[in-house]
Each structure stands twice: as C-alpha cells, then as structure tokens.
C-alpha cells in the first residue's frame, strides 16, 4: 500500500500560495557526503533527451496509438472515442453554456453564436478555484458545488444573450479526466487524475452525476455534449482554422487528441458517421514507453495517489515538475549540503515548490540571481548563496528541458502516425497543433524546448509545415460549439 501525499495546492499551476511561515531548519545528517556537482551531473545524464531518445519516444507513441486503436486495453493509451464526428462549421447559432472542470479551477461560460457572419457575438465567464476539500470529498459534494455555481451564473443572463422562449439552456460539459464515452452526451469516469481523489464517481456516468446535482438545485439545463478539454480545444481552434488537426493540453495535467480516419480504427464497431472521421482522445498522460526516468521520478510516483499510472504526465506536466525539482534539491541539501549544514524543514514538504516557481526562477537574469534567492527563501525557507542559486536554476532547467522535449516528441509521434496513414496530408501541407494550458503558456523555456524538439525530429523543412499555435481558453468555446452541433433543437434562429 502506498501512502498518499496530500499537499496544499497540489494540482495547481497557477494558484497563489496560501501560507508562508518563518524558515525552520533541521541539521543535515549525512551518511556519506556526495558533492552536489556529481548529483547534478548524474541527473543531467539520466534526464538527457538526445535525438535518438526523442525518436524512440515518438516511435513508441505512434506504436502505442495503433495498439490502442486496435483493441480496447491494447496499450497504455486508451485512444478514447469522443463521438465528435463533425467539427464546427461556423454556422452554429444561438446561446450556449459551457462548464469546465479539469484541474484546480472550474469555469462557467456562456456564448452567443451568430453563424458565419457574426461568429462569436459575445461571451461571459466566471472562474472559481475548486476548494481543496472537494478534491478529496464525495462525488455529490463536488457536483453540488458545480451545479450551484452554474445556477448562480445562469441567473445573470442578459444583454446580448438571448434564449428563445420554450427552450432549455444547453451545456457543453468539459470534463478533463479519462472518461469512457458512451455517446456524445454520456460517459463513465475511468479514474481521477491530477490529485483528485473524489469518492463515488469512478465507474459512473458523469453527466448523470451533473444532472442529479442540477435537479437538486432546481436547475433545468441539458448537457448536449460531454467533451475532454483537448477535444474542446480542438473544436474551438478548428472553428477559426481548418488546418487544425491536433490539440494538446500542457497544464496541471497533460493530454492530446487528434482527428482520425474511421477506417484506421479497428476497434470501432457499429459506430457510424457520415464524415468518415472522428476525434480520438489519446489520454497520452498514461504513456510510459522508453521515457528517461530517475530515482526522483520513481519515488514521487510511489508516493502519489496513483502509483504506476500517468507516467508521461508525471514527467512532463505542470503538477509534477516543481515536485521533481524539490526532491532533487532535498537530496542535494541532505547529501551535498547545498544550502549549508542545515536543511530547511519546508523543503521536505511534498509539492511545496510548484512549477510556476521554477518558471519564475528561470526568468531571473540578474547577476546575483536575486529573484531565485527570494523564491527559495519565501517558499522553502532557504538562505542561498550565488553558487547554490546557480545550481538550483540548472536543476530547474534540466527538468523543464526533459519535459518540454518529451512533450515535443509526443506531438511528433501523433503527427507521424497520422502521416503514415494519410501520406502527405500532414507533413505535405500546413498542419496546426492547437496548444493550451498554463505550463505551455507561462513557462517560456519549456515552450522553447518543446518546439526545438519538434524541429530536431522533423528537420527544418518539414517542420515549417507544422504550426504550433496557442489557442488560449479555446476549450470553453469549443465545448459550447459542440453543444450547438448536438443541440436537440433542430432549427437555429
């Protein structure tokens, strides 16, 4: 049995830190002193992602995709059918709602769509952070919270937002956890990820959970589409650009989806669609083949609430990068006296160092790395000299570099698989990968490493056709567009 770490703000790439205490220390007990330099050298060596490693990962990703498409359970990648067979056309009209539950924040949004001419007439949204206790509570508590926020938001409709009389408000529900879709508007939660451990939801239809909660609130709305955040992002980006073929989320968690040809999905039986294409949610966070991992990754995994699962996610996503660095720094403090003879107590707290802290430290260009010093002091209660700060930055860079480059290799794996089946339709023309998530958005070094890896793998010429585009918060509008496409009312107005 493993012991779950239940840290504060565990799933956050963006939450503010709540508590700051005065630094406390314990004396370093060193069994055998190991120079910090040699810990760093070993770390860099084990995290290295030269071209052959990237190739191996991209090839393994493509092979795992095929295995997951062949048969359910055929690989780590679930390759989930989204039941989204037709993408937004631009003709969508009317008022639609979107709900977004995926990480530390929960969003509600309404959008008035005006068809080809007017497109998005207006949007309004509200965002709240999910209280920590709800991440570890019961299913009813979580869905009641969501439904009550939705009820309050829905009451404030006005202005340019207009619902014809007699119609129910329709919702696109973005639920960003692995769900076995049973139709466009239903799906069973397979398991929670990203530090959520809500009891009583796994194995249940999450739309039914939401419907029950809405009923308890006396809220008469209808879920017309249940979508993963990657699927919402793809739909939202595709609304503006026909070349979008793939969507990737790099935030607290990570995942990718793409447009697949029906005849390339052997496990698809009896599911027909006019378009001959569908969106596949890869759930690539569960990928694990050929990754360069260290003892720090293994120990973090063993202490997590889902040991052995989501290994790619644990290596590349925002929830975990800070924690990996913390573990390395603790080892350097304990064995190599990185911060002198005492070890700051806070450095032993799981998840005290967050990925935004790494990014903040890597943006410090000052001679004395003052901002690095402040982050270390504020967060870990660490007093540091310049040498220690330099090492800390190198550790951050090593972990961010591995993450970004592996994410890039994953993207190339998907494109490679698509290209193999469609010969020239991916690399032979402009192909857009829509990206979203706080990690991608707010960690410039990570973003650069990702793009460099894509270019290295594809070569300069071919990579010119692959456009990696930030599609900020596209998943909300995307979910609303999919609700419109699956509206129960035949005629738009």
* Interacting residues toward ligand BGC by CB under 6 A: 102, 176-178, 193-194, 228-230, 249, 251, 253-255, 283, 285, 313
Residue 118 sits at φ, ψ, to 5 deg, of -95, -15
Q: Could you tell me the smallest distance in angstroms from the CB atom of residue 231 to ligand BGC?
A: 8
- Residue 131: count of CB within 10 angstroms of its CB: 12
Q: Could you tell me the smallest distance in angstroms from the CB atom of residue 319 to ligand BGC?
A: 8
CB-CB contact of 106 with 152 (8 Å): no
* 26 to 88, 235, 273, 343, 376: CA distances (angstroms): 58, 52, 64, 5, 16
- The yes-or-no answer on residue 229 being catalytic is yes
Q: Which of 64, 205, 229, 335 is catalytic?
A: 229
Residue nearest to ligand BGC (CB): 253
Q: Could you tell me the smallest distance in angstroms from the CB atom of residue 277 to ligand BGC?
A: 20
- The yes-or-no answer on residue 194 being catalytic is yes
CB-CB contact of 225 with 479 (8 Å): yes
Q: Find the length of the chain.
A: 493
User: Taking phi first (over 0 means left), then psi (-120 to 50 degrees means alpha), and beta for anything else, what does residue 310 get?
Assistant: left
Q: In terms of CB distance, is 176 or 355 closer to ligand BGC?
A: 176
Which tokens hold the place of 458? Answer: 């594809």
The alpha carbon of 12 is separated from its chain's Cα centroid by a whole number of angstroms, namely 11
- Give which of 266, 252, 80 is closest to 181, Cα–Cα: 80
* 471 to 15, 59, 60, 298: CA distances (angstroms): 21, 26, 27, 33
Q: In terms of CB distance, is 292 or 318 closer to ligand BGC?
A: 318
Q: Could you tell me the smallest distance in angstroms from the CB atom of residue 255 to ligand BGC?
A: 3
Q: In terms of CB distance, is 253 or 373 closer to ligand BGC?
A: 253
d(CA 195, CA 304): 8
HEC secondary structure over 126-153: EEEECCHHHHCCEHHHHHHHHHHHHHHH
Alpha helices in 271-317 (DSSP H): 295-303, 311-316
Q: Could you tell me the smallest distance in angstroms from the CB atom of residue 287 to ligand BGC?
A: 11
* 438 to 287, 313, 450: CA distances (angstroms): 21, 14, 14
CB-CB contact of 134 with 105 (8 Å): no
Q: Which of 194, 331, 346, 417 is catalytic?
A: 194
Q: In terms of CB distance, is 13 or 153 closer to ligand BGC?
A: 13
Could you identify the residue written with the tokens 């969507």? 247
Alpha helices in 177-294 (DSSP H): 206-216, 229-238
d(CA 171, CA 154): 11
Q: In terms of CB distance, is 178 or 356 closer to ligand BGC?
A: 178
Q: In terms of CB distance, is 205 or 313 closer to ligand BGC?
A: 313
* 134 to 318, 341, 446: CA distances (angstroms): 21, 40, 31
Q: Could you tell me the smallest distance in angstroms from the CB atom of residue 80 to ligand BGC?
A: 9
Q: Could you tell me the smallest distance in angstroms from the CB atom of residue 103 to ligand BGC?
A: 6
Q: In terms of CB distance, is 291 or 380 closer to ligand BGC?
A: 291
Q: In terms of CB distance, is 283 or 301 closer to ligand BGC?
A: 283
Q: Could you tell me the smallest distance in angstroms from the CB atom of residue 100 to ligand BGC?
A: 10
Active centre residues (catalytic): 194, 229
């Amino acid at each position: 049995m493993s012991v779950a770490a239940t840290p504060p703000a565990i799933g956050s790439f963006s939450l503010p830190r709540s508590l700051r205490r005065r630094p406390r220390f314990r004396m370093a007990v060193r069994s055998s002193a190991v120079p910090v330099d040699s810990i760093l050298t070993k770390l860099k060596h084990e995290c290295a992602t030269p071209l052959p490693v990237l190739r191996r990962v991209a090839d393994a990703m493509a092979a795992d995709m095929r295995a997951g498409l062949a048969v359910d359970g055929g690989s780590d990648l679930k390759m989930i059918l989204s039941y989204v067979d037709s993408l937004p056309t631009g003709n969508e009209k009317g008022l639609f709602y979107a709900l977004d539950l995926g990480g530390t924040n929960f969003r509600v949004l309404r959008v008035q769509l005006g068809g080809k001419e007017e497109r998005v007439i207006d949007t309004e949204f509200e965002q709240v952070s999910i209280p920590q206790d709800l991440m570890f509570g019961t299913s009813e508590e979580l869905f009641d919270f969501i439904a009550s926020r939705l009820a309050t938001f829905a009451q404030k409709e006005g202005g340019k937002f207009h619902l014809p009389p007699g119609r129910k408000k329709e919702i696109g529900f973005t639920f960003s956890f692995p769900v076995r879709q049973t139709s466009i508007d239903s799906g069973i939660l397979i398991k929670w990820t990203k530090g959520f451990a809500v009891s009583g939801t796994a194995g249940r239809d999450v739309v039914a959970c939401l419907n029950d909660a809405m009923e308890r609130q006396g809220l008469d709305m209808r879920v017309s589409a249940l979508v993963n955040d990657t699927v919402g992002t793809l739909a939202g980006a595709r609304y503006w650009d026909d070349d979008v073929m793939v969507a990737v989320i790099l935030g607290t968690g990570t995942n990718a989806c793409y447009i697949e040809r029906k005849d390339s999905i052997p496990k698809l039986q009896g599911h027909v669609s006019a378009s001959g294409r569908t969106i596949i949610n890869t759930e690539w966070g569960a990928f694990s083949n050929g990754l360069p991992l260290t003892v720090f990754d293994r120990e973090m995994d063993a202490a997590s609430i889902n040991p052995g699962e989501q290994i790619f996610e644990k290596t590349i996503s925002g929830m975990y990068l800070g924690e990996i660095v913390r573990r390395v720094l603790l080892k350097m403090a304990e064995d190599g006296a990185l911060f002198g003879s005492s070890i700051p107590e806070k450095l032993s707290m799981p998840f005290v160092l967050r990925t935004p802290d790494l990014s903040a430290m890597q943006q410090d260009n000052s001679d004395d790395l003052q901002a690095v010093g402040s982050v270390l002091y504020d967060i870990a209660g660490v007093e540091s000299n310049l040498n220690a700060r330099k090492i800390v930055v190198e550790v951050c860079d090593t972990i961010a570099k591995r993450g970004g480059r592996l994410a890039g290799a994953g993207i190339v794996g998907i494109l490679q698989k698509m290209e193999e089946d469609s010969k020239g339709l991916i690399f032979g023309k402009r192909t857009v990968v829509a990206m979203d998530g706080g990690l991608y958005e707010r960690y410039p070094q990570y973003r650069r490493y990702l793009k460099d890896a894509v270019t290295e793998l594809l070569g300069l010429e071919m990579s010119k056709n692959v456009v990696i585009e930030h599609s900020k918060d596209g998943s909300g509008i995307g979910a609303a567009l999919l609700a419109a496409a699956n509206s129960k009312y035949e005629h738009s107005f």
